[in-house]
Structure 1
Amino acid sequence: MAATSRTSAAAASLDPADPVDPVHAVAESLQPQLSLRERKKIKTRTAIRRATYRLIAEQGYEATTVEQIAEAAEVSPSTVFRYFPTKEDIVLTDEFDPIMLREMRSRPASEPPLESLRHVITEAARLSLVHDREETLQRTRLIAEVPALRARMMESVADTSRLLCDVLAERTGRERVDLEVRVFAMAVLGALHETTVYWAEHNHEDDLLDLIARTMNTLSEGLTLSTR
């Protein structure tokens, strides 16, 4: 599907070879009203994440400590914990949640919620693969391999689901606490979590965008009989 004009413009302005953190750049492109303080926060979070992934690549997840991350990112351990409550959060947290919510609100009001999510999630994945592929591969591989990350990821999915419920309630005229709203949000996000784990378990050999399309089709059409 075609990207929205704001997302397309942001993506077009980014060069895959640009050393600027892509999520940082996209976030700023889509949210130009960010204050200097917010931009500095994103820059600090980006530095901490980059240092974490670099250390994990060198010595493994378990051997990497918050103290080492802080030193590599040139911040204090207390600063790391101020931005990320746990080491797991450093690996799992990105800047895309607010972008997803913003883009969902920009979709046509008459568009079915699943189609809106299909568009937004596909575009976010495309941007991630184009501008941040290695970190995306490492993140999904770690989620598949490290039990602590898998457990924390499910908590993160629940947090994102609560945010998504607000947008879904706005679009459907329901209450955010309605069972149907909560089930729908968790169904989509849980399915996407399994999609990324499947992708990592199969050594990232599949096209992630194809897997996302299959996932969204399954949610839309249900589980059909195998033709094999």
Structure 2
Amino acid sequence: MTADAAPGSDSTISVASAAGAASAVVGVSAAVGASAVAGPSAAVGASGARGALGASAGLRERKKAKTRAAIREAAMLLFTEHGYAATTVEQIAEAAEVSPSTFFRYFPTKEDVVLTDDYDPLIVEAIRSQPAGMPVIEAVLVGMRQVFEHLTPEEWESENRRQRLFRTVPELTARQLQQTVSALDMLSAVIAERLGVPPEDEGARSLAGMVVGVALTFLPPGRPGGFTAHDFDRVKQALIGLRQHLDRL
């Protein structure tokens, strides 16, 4: 049995698309115009159509997410059983009950099954959703905490397996730096947004780099058991201490 649902714009998950995914409002102004011209019944019909479209889109997204998760889980199991190098895309596709072409629509390469971080876009959106008056570092840490506190034990185990592969597979280790730079780009963009400065602002990027550096120091990838609230408090205190040291320069 093969599930060949196309993934749409999975490859463009970033700061901009995370915000877009949170809002599925279709044609509001058009509905208002229809109400003024054709009366209440037309507006109700337009509302019902939008609801049907929204439900259909939601179902498609759930199917895509389910297929994506199945591909990744099958790949991780095969990597554990046979080794990363010995596992082929065809084997992963067969185990996930999808065609090889479907695999490549979700993941451009075998490496991307491991490299793609599904949590970075969630963290960016959680940061964006914090109250406007919250200091930017606080918003970053609260957003991170909200995402990680909701991970299940199974999700933690999957993430730990992913991080172990980074440490043991040379070709993945070489590309991990590229992934870190991409995460820095996303974090820098949402920090700039909260500060009200252009995305390319050097101050926002420096701040993002500082947060990433401190977070990697106290929340190293692949640590067993996940993160606790105390871990994020340590990161916050480390950032405060770093600011104090910088003030002395």
Measured in 2, the distance between the counterparts of 1:123 and 1:190 equals 20
The letter of the residue matching 2:148 is A
Residue 65 of structure 1 pairs with residue 88 of structure 2:
yes
1:168 to 166, 191, 197: 191
1:75-86 pair list within 5 angstroms: 75-86=98-109
| Paired position in structure 1 for 2:238 | 218
Hey, what's the Cα distance between the residues in 2 that align with 1:49 and 1:154? Answer: 21
Which secondary structure does the structure 2 equivalent of 1:186 belong to?
Answer: helix
Q: Which residue matches 1:186?
A: 209
TM-fit CA distance, 1:178 = 1.0
Q: TM-score, normalised by structure 1?
A: 0.71
Paired residues in the alignment total: 193
Q: 1:38 corresponds to which residue?
A: 61
Q: Measured at CA, do residues 194 and 86 of structure 1 come closer, stay the same or move farther in structure 2, by a change above 3 Å?
A: farther
Residue of structure 1 aligned with 2:227, choices 164, 186, 208: 208
What SS class does the counterpart of residue 208 from structure 1 fall into? coil
User: Identity over the aligned pairs, expressed in percent?
Assistant: 40
Paired residue type of 2:112: D
Greater Cα offset, 44-53 or 128-137: 128-137
Structure 1 residue 197: Cα displacement = 4.1
Contact 1:157/1:190 (8 A) holds in 2: no
User: Rg bigger for which structure?
Assistant: 2
SS in structure 2 at match of 1:124: helix
**Residues 195 and 48 (structure 1), Cα distance of their counterparts in 2 relative to 1, 3 Å cut:** farther
Paired residue secondary structure (1:46) = helix
* 2:128 corresponding residue in structure 1: 105
In structure 2, which of residues 149, 152, 160 is the aligned counterpart of residue 137 of structure 1?
Answer: 160
Using the TM superposition, name which of 211-220 and 36-45 deviates more: 211-220
CA contact (8 A) 1:128 1:136 kept: no
Deviation at 1:191, TM superposition (A): 4.1
Matched, 1:123 2:142: no
More deviation, 106-115/188-197 = 188-197
**For the aligned residues, what is the CA RMSD?**
2.9
Could you say if the C-alpha distance between residues 111 and 161 of structure 1 is closer, same or farther in structure 2, counting changes exceeding 3 Å? same
Q: Quick one: structure 1 residues 150 and 193, their matched pair in 2 at CA, closer, same or farther if it must change by over 3 Å?
A: farther
